A and B are shown apart, each in its own frame.
Chain A
């Protein structure tokens, strides 16, 4: 069995005063052991909701999440306590995910205490220091508090805490978007080293396509709660099929003067995810939209090479 995680038709709807908000709508994918799946999309496309739903921090409306062969969608709280150590999360803003009144050693020791891993206090402290070494935090910080540290070091605490219980899957929700490029590079390198060392699987949620290209093996591009393109990373960057992905790629400012790619400037902004019509959700902003796009929703179709894309006219647009 090479799949660590299987997600089938996962849905998360919220009722809001003006109708039903489709935050995650019918998302399916699989993740293999030791691989990184990148989830890319603009803010409001449901990528964070998806991450939290996988860890059951949010209860899904329907669908299945199968973790190591076990359906975890309906496991009760007690049963989930046994599963939590295997799946952890790293949050975007380390300042708000850390307890401001806990010292660094307390932050990292917290999960170990909850799961009563060590009876002996000395062993616990030893493990905390070990974890600090793993993520590259100098031992002199052990009794400092989060506000005394900079963003990069705080994010390292978040990573150390996530690693404490030897997880198999880590959901990284925009772990580097609040950091400067040099620190971002340090954290990305650290995450890659840890993956090799501990055989971790990452689900890497980000809006930054160049980061995702660097770290992921597979990519899902999301738009308004739906996956619209899904394939291996290399495949996506050599053959970009969906008009939205194309626009997203061309919108990234490249720090180089040599290759000025052709710009596809999208009109408008994300439409509302409340009570969506049965239509292609990207149609209002799409350059190629026709009548059919406004009347029926496209399915995610495999175009060969395990490259899936949800667009009515994908073959026409790309001359396949």
Chain B
């Protein structure tokens, strides 16, 4: 396999607000190869979108800060953790060149992602002209090509966003995101606002285009069904941490973390008849006030005393399948963690 196109290493993101610091992302690491698709699954507030915005360099300012970690695009770090304004500005300038060209993003709501007073074709051509030195006529030609590629007739080049339906608008957004042939595409809940039949069409389209352009795709979703449809591997996120990580065969055929299991049990099934859905009580912990050590312990059915004393690391339980849970730690690690309790737990 080729090298990693995108690598996120130990990413930590905080939002510094008047009420305190929200620890949105705590030590997230993953990597993506060209043509690979990874699903990032979790509930609202788990920090999925924050991860995406960090990669895009679009964290809301002034609250959002990348505290630590690296994001490598083709091996080059694109994160500036220093608060120095000059360094920050230099990084912003660099990000502006990368965005749309090397990494692009598809947002959940296509209506708010498009400019309502600009014809859709021109919006696509704008991206192309920004990143390539080509004439306007060529950019228009390329924009029309992109529209045809996502299944919209080029004759609708000068139509405005409100003249399209939700599914069509999402197609335009996809055309725009792929116009400069980016290495990495981030899709933040791209089908959540769409009807199932339209969702099926859009997923089909994304699958085809991904193959065609060999783009690495990061799919953010709360729908495990969508992950099963389109992803190669999957990371389950809870309270800003990856709690389970593996190929989709690992996650779907052999889920191990109590939270992942709970997610699967909560979805009403089409094949089985269940009288009552299994749900776990409580809510995701507040990122302003995260519980110490295992963040899931308060809702966990398998919680024991040790869960309140040890920070469980991501442990490999089979090749490529990682779980963050005390019960899957190796015995030697458990002993070491308990011994090292006084002087900070090794991660």
Contact = CB atoms under 8 A, between A and B. Distances in A.
B165 A269 contact: yes
Contact of A185 (B44, B201, B226, B277): B277
B19 interface: no
B224 A255 contact: yes
Interface string A202-228: 000001011101110000000000000
A172 B284 CA distance: 26
B276 A251 contact: no
A249 interface: yes
A204 to B, nearest CB: 12
Given A182-B279, A253-B229, A269-B167, A214 B197 contact: no
Interface in B221-241: 222-229
A207 B196 CA distance: 8
B204 interface: yes
A256 interface: yes
B223 to A, nearest CB: 6
Max chain B Cβ within 10 angstroms of own Cβ: one of A181, A185, A189:
A181
Contacts of B204: 265
A259 B272 CA distance: 12
A112 to B, nearest CB: 28
A266 interface: yes
A217 to B, nearest CB: 13
A265 B229 CA distance: 14
Interface string A167-208: 000000000000011111110110010000000000000010
Contacts of A253: 199-200, 203, 223, 225-226, 228-229
Interface residues of B, number: 44
Contacts of A150: 283
A257 B266 contact: no
B84 interface: no
Interface string B173-199: 000000000000000000000011111
Contacts of A258: 253
Contacts of B197: 42, 247-248, 251, 266
A251 B199 contact: yes
Interface string B268-287: 11110010111111010000
A259 B225 CA distance: 12
A239 to B, nearest CB: 15
Interface residues of A, number: 40
A188 B276 CA distance: 9
A184 B44 CA distance: 12
B345 interface: no
Contacts of A259: 271
A257 B248 contact: yes
Contact of A214 (B201, B228, B249, B268): B268
A263 interface: yes
B270 A213 contact: yes
A188 B279 CA distance: 10
Max chain B Cβ within 10 angstroms of own Cβ: one of A186, A215, A255:
A255
A215 B273 CA distance: 10
B233 to A, nearest CB: 13
Contact of B267 (A210, A247, A266): A210
A237 interface: yes
B228 A252 contact: no
A146 interface: no
B252 interface: yes
A182 B270 contact: no
A43 interface: yes
A178 B252 CA distance: 24
Given A42-B196, A265-B201, A269-B165, A210 B269 contact: yes
A303 interface: no
A257 B270 contact: no
B239 to A, nearest CB: 13
9 contacts: A188-B268, A189-B277, A214-B268, A215-B268, A252-B270, A255-B267, A257-B252, A258-B253, A266-B197
Given A42-B196, A237-B270, 11 more contacts: A42-B198, A181-B267, A189-B279, A211-B268, A213-B270, A254-B225, A255-B252, A256-B252, A257-B248, A263-B200, A265-B204
The 4 closest A-B pairs by CB, nearest first: A253-B225, A255-B224, A185-B279, A214-B268
